Chain A
Amino acid sequence: MKEWQPKILAILCNWCSYAGADLAGVSRMQYPPNVRVIRIPCSGRVDPLFIMKSLQSGFDGILVSG
């Protein structure tokens, strides 16, 4: 059986962290593939409900970055 890996949702601001995630790719920085990214226009958009909703949907961890 495969070792359990958490699924992480990253909610990223378009202008900084999402751009940073792009840059990480362009720079070929390698990181674990168990993160799923959602792009938002500003981290100010993040409603606490997003976190609850994502956990409810089965994500094991949420990263909000902006």
Chain B
Amino acid sequence: MGLKSRSVMVVGAGIAGIQASLDLAEMGLDVHLVEESATIGGRMPQLDKTFPTNDCSMCILAPKMSECARHPNITIHIKSSVTKVTGNPGDFTAKMVEHAKYVDPVKCVSCGLCEEKCPVKVDDEFDMGLRKRGAISRSFLQSIPSEYTIDKDRCLYLTKGVCRICEKVCPAGAINFEDKDIEIELKVGAVILASGIDAFDPIGFGHFGYKRYPNVVTSLDFERMLSASGPFGGHVLRASDHAEPKSIAFIQCVGSRDESIGHNYCSSACCMFAIKEAIIAKEHMKGLESSIFYMDIRAFGKDFDKYYEKAKGQYGVDFIKSKVSEIRELENGNLSLRHVLENGKIEFAEFDMVVLSVGLQPRKNSVRLAKNLDIKLNEFGFCRSDTFEPLKTSREGIYVCGAMNGPRDIPESVTTASGAVADAVKYLRLDRQEIAEKKIPEKDIVGDRPRIGTFVCHCGINIAGVVDVKDVAEYAKDLPNVEHSEDLMYACSQDCMNTIKQRIEEHGLNRIVIAACTPRTHEPLFREMVSEAGLNPYLFEMANIRDQCSWAHMNEPELATEKSKDLMNMGVAKARELAPLERLPIEINPKALVIGAGLAGMTAAEALADAGHEVFLVEKEAELGGNLRNIYYAFDKDPQELLAEKIKNVSKNKLIHLFKSTKIEKIDGYVGNFVTTLKTEKDEQTLEHGIVIIATGAEEHKTKEYLYGESSRIITQVEFEEMLHNGNFPTKKLKNVVMIQCVGSREEDRMYCSRVCCTKAVKNALTLKKKFPNINTYIAYRDIRTYGFREKYYTELRDLGTMFVHYDLDKKPEITLVDEWDPDSQVNVTIFDPIMDKEVEVKTDLLVLATAIDAKKENIELGKMLKVPLNADGMFMEAHVKLRPVDFATDGVFVAGLAHTPKDIDESMAQAKAAASRALTFLNKKAILAEGTICEVNDSRCTGCGYCEQICAYNAIEVDLEKEIAIVNEALCKGCGACVASCRCAALDLRGFSNEQLFSAFDALEMTNILNN
């Protein structure tokens, strides 16, 4: 390998860009995160909830955003765009422009006075125009950076030379009209593109009347309406009369699956998006009727079908398989939908409101970006990538993730982001990082009496405008153990922090309480300051008197001041009990164990070895390749070539140790320090390694349905593919071929979609049709789920004359043998065809069953060994369905491929790379630090009952059966304290939130309470 660099550029700071940046930064690389808008976060902050868990989108994203902002290895460039990338992989020169913000981010305190007084009011893009914003604004309340910026195209001063009101009202003097665009040149080894997608704008679809009829909105508009922090505070109202709608229709595929506008692809996410909105809307409005008009419901992801079923059953969402051709507005503002049912019947339906499920399309700027970076786009304008290199662009050293190279939902965006990192590290220099030494030696305060310093922040007028901060600072002086108290203008400003450090020195303070904004944003910063003053960072406490006081009680200054005093009092009381905490180092063994050598396992092993780590690749079969061995077609690519290449790569790589026909007997240990026993027929051996990747795959469901096994003419799709490949059909005279989809999938015992079968059927039927154009093919389906770019193959197959017959679960196709006594009998298929509105019968020469994908039984045993959970279907369950798709709650264990959920070749590879990348964030460190705020056991009180062991979600506590006491694994404990609350003997306690500390805070107000009442 040639040149390598320690720097890398990530373009686009949506969830994919954020994830890629975090992974790279955790590997010790310097990341430049380049974002065109004024904040990181991308699309996710606009969403109210996320499917299929109905998590609040902003709540799950915010910690990642702030982690990104705080990470010392990440430099965020907002309002910046890349203009050119020259040079070679490993040694690129990237040029970009950082546009003028006209607000000094160091001085701005994000109080919002400027926007309030700004005379310009324009449609707010974040709230989809449902609210106005000023020319000076920020995208949303939790934007990062939080500072305001000026929109130079809207600002009166910058366009017409008058106004400058913001400059006058800004209490911090942060406005700077002299600000200029800056050109920046960066040396980077690789580039990761994550610039995302746009929502389709239905303004051109006159027949739907968007913007013409006020009660027709897009799914994104609706999302903002549902959002509690949105313009309507979560109350859905019709624009025409501000009445709450009683019925809502969702129209699917607006701008997707539409050849007339060149969008011959499926946007993949909108079906679930609409189901989610229909459910949430029903939760918001009692008695609401919501109906979804669809072509196919594509709930193909993990646990999506269960969500779909819940929408139908528990929530009573009405699903109507029908195409809406026109919407008309009625006099009362209601909308009349003209729609065509499957059998061609035209019907009309009236609704109070209509939501258009708009599709995803390439960003407006993607053509320019592609030109600047010299990369190619595909036929639809998305970034081009290859099925077998799903994260690579056409230019070496530049990688792509998120929805930029195809419509994707959030977890897949996160997966591809981590995956792209594993590809990019090829051109980046990875050195195993040491734990950073403490710059300033820590004072030993054990045994000293508490000497508390309290500081009250004005935050300009944000706090001081409501709370009498001087009074609070004065009050604190009389609290026990307080040695010093004062008020500060901006506690977080550099000069004020210097003042605090000076006071620590002058007064010999050993505990600090700051009453200011909120610990959620500022605790890390203040902790760092405290440790720079030579104190243990845990000797710090914050009182939240801005977000939870001055801003929430703006009209009651006296009571707000009282509350601030109480919060200060409680903070001081807790601080008095604080103790220095140590973060113990956990050494990380740099070797990795990958279980399963199918496509995912081999890809993961290769990625880890490429990054310089030794890998133990264990396969229980005698041969490598797993399910890939049975796949012969992937449209324009040859999977067998991929298989051969992968086998060659893992076999010849000296860093990969192959163990074939080998079983996992036992796995002990925890992140960084696993010990695994392998077993072959002959012997046993133990391995030591730092992480584990589970890539055990899945297997084809063995069906008993549709007379499978009773005639050689009834076969599965997998068997059919092999026949296609070697030409060994059970009959020479193939005239009719019938395929039945969802055999075993999406039914009671297996309420999930096996995801790949629709594409597989389409692929195999296409191959058959191309080889033998005269064969008649029929596909009986429930919903055709050819998501993303797979859609074009579906339309191609339709155009070639394949008959698609839709069936419902209660009207499954009926199968009889033409000759019951003949083991090679032809097969009669009888099915109700909703298009012809009658039963049809086909005598077929081959009946091909798309059987489900089953979880492996061994998962149960492996899950127990690694202490990681399975879902109801027996697939491994990741730490978080949206944002941690390859991790487990247990650190150091990752999952990839079919073991996680059914998926296609490109998706398995992307996920395998993602698992490798997540693993590298550990392996690339010599040691990691355990948390300081973790649980401890008082041995003399513990009875070893084991209740805590059952409670702990992280498997961080275990009873030592010999000593009969619980032992906390400090490497695994996340400090939630659930075990502490569960302990019947009060033997457990949580450092940093101990009973003593919390009781002290509860008690602090006793006196004040008595006096006040």
Contacts and interface: CB of A to CB of B under 8 A. Distances in A.
Contacts of A25: 518, 546-552
Contact of A40 (B554, B556, B998, B1009): B998
Interface in B539-581: 544, 546-556, 559-560, 562-563, 566-567, 570
Contacts of B37: none
B1002 A9 contact: yes
B61 to A, nearest CB: 12
Contact of B993 (A31, A41, A49, A59): A41
B995 A31 contact: no
Given A36-B1005, A41-B976, A14 B933 contact: no
B1006 A57 contact: yes
Contacts of B1010: 58
Interface string A34-55: 1111111110111111100110
Contacts of A58: 1005-1006, 1009-1010, 1013
Interface of A: 4, 7, 9, 14-16, 18-19, 21-42, 44-50, 53-54, 57-59
7 contacts: A24-B548, A28-B552, A31-B553, A33-B552, A36-B566, A44-B951, A47-B981
A35 B552 CA distance: 11
A44 B983 CA distance: 12
Interface in B494-552: 518-520, 544, 546-552
Nearest to B980: A45
A46 B142 CA distance: 28
A54 B1004 CA distance: 10
B977 interface: yes
Contact of B59 (A9, A16, A32, A49): A16
Given A38-B1002, A41-B993, A33 B556 contact: yes
B520 A30 contact: no
B548 A22 contact: yes
A49 B989 CA distance: 13
A35 to B, nearest CB: 8
Given A4-B1013, A22-B518, A22-B544, A50 B993 contact: no
Contact of B142 (A26, A30, A33, A49): A26
Given A7-B1009, A58-B1006, A36 B563 contact: yes
A23 to B, nearest CB: 6
Contacts of A16: 59
Greatest chain A CB density within 10 A among B548, B553, B1010, B1013 is at: B548
A30 B1006 contact: no
Contacts of B1001: 38
Nearest to A21: B548
B998 A50 contact: yes
Interface in B682-737: none
Nearest to A45: B977
A47 B547 contact: no
A53 B986 CA distance: 15
Contacts of B977: 40-42, 44-45
Which 8 interchain pairs have the tightest Cβ spacing? A44-B978, A45-B977, A58-B1009, A25-B547, A42-B976, A25-B551, A33-B559, A22-B547
Nearest to A14: B520
B990 interface: yes
Nearest to A53: B1002
A9 B62 CA distance: 26
A38 B1000 CA distance: 11
A57 B554 contact: no
A18 B520 contact: yes
Nearest to B547: A25
Nearest to A35: B563
A58 B547 CA distance: 25
B543 to A, nearest CB: 10
A24 B1009 CA distance: 26
Given A33-B560, A44-B978, A28 B551 contact: yes
Contacts of B547: 21-26
Contacts, number: 128
A32 B566 CA distance: 15
Given A24-B552, A33-B549, A47-B980, A19 B998 contact: no
Nearest to A58: B1009
A39 to B, nearest CB: 7
Contact of B562 (A33, A41, A42): A33
B976 A45 contact: yes
A30 B552 contact: yes
| Chain B residues touching A, majority SS | helix
A26 B551 contact: yes
B999 A53 contact: yes
B229 interface: yes
Given A26-B551, A38-B1001, A45 B544 contact: no
Given A36-B1005, A48-B981, 16 more contacts: A15-B59, A21-B552, A22-B547, A22-B548, A23-B141, A23-B547, A31-B552, A34-B559, A40-B993, A41-B975, A44-B981, A45-B981, A45-B993, A57-B1002, A57-B1009, A58-B1010
A45 B978 contact: yes
Nearest to B555: A30
Contacts of A7: 1005, 1009, 1012
A33 B733 CA distance: 83
Contacts of A26: 141-142, 547, 551
B1003 interface: yes
A22 to B, nearest CB: 4
Contacts of A42: 976-978
Contacts of B999: 53
A34 B558 CA distance: 12
Contact of A36 (B552, B570, B1003): B570
A56 B562 CA distance: 21
A19 B555 CA distance: 22
Interface in B114-169: 141-142
A46 B548 CA distance: 21
A31 to B, nearest CB: 6
A21 B555 CA distance: 18
B995 A47 contact: yes
A22 B520 contact: yes
B229 A27 contact: yes
A7 B1002 CA distance: 12
Interface in B886-933: 933
Contacts of B552: 21, 24-25, 28-31, 33
A37 B542 CA distance: 12
A11 B59 CA distance: 19
Contacts of A18: 520
B976 A30 contact: no
Contacts of B1006: 57-58
A18 B523 CA distance: 14
A32 to B, nearest CB: 8
A49 B142 CA distance: 35
Nearest to B561: A33
A58 B1003 CA distance: 8
A63 to B, nearest CB: 13
Nearest to A48: B981
Nearest to A6: B1013
B231 to A, nearest CB: 11
A41 B993 CA distance: 8
A41 B555 CA distance: 31
Contacts of A34: 559, 563
Given A33-B559, A58-B1010, A27 B141 contact: yes
A18 B956 CA distance: 25
B1002 A39 contact: no
Nearest to A44: B978
A57 B520 contact: no
A6 to B, nearest CB: 10
Nearest to B1001: A38
Contacts of A54: 1002
